[in-house]
Amino acid sequence: MNMARPAAKVISVVTVVLTTVILIGVFSLILWFDNAKIMVKMEDNQVTMEAAIYDTSFTISDIQSIKILEKMPEDDFARTNGGATEEFLIGHFKGKVTGNCMLYLYCDYVPILEIKLADQTIYVNSKNENDIKAWYQKLTQSSID
């Protein structure tokens, strides 16, 4: 490029700015995932699960089935939009048998709570085994009420 021309200077500045913005965005996203914590909130009839930039909300009446698993089902899960690190699996996944699902999983922690909704299945766990039991009891008790 001929830097004596104003258009070349504009192109150079725009390129530097866009590159900087993209790098900051990617770095922020990596930090966000690296410091992700899986949170489950239950208020009244509403359940919200959050981790990193992913969240899922549903009402207790939307639950078709719920159970505690000692391991993930044997399925070939493909990540469609999410994050996978050595510590966790978070986001949208698709299983050949399971279909569309959301994973909020810390790797190597069990049990896992499987929540089936009409359009997707949610798998969530915690580093504290008692959390899963408490969530299960609250969800099943609330669905009976």
Determine the 3-state secondary structure of 78 from DSSP.
strand
> How many other CB atoms are there within 10 angstroms of residue 65's CB atom?
9
Edge-to-edge strand ranges of the sheet holding 46-51: 39-43, 46-51, 54-59
pLDDT band at 141 (very low <50, low <70, confident <90, very high): confident
> How many other CB atoms are there within 10 angstroms of residue 14's CB atom?
10
107 secondary structure, DSSP code: T
Q: What is the pTM of this model?
A: 0.78
**pLDDT, tens digit, for every residue of 53-93?**
899 999 999 999 999 999 999 998 899 998 888 888 999 99
**pLDDT, tens digit, for every residue of 122-138?**
999 999 889 999 999 98
Q: Which residues lie across from 41 on neighbouring strands? A: 48
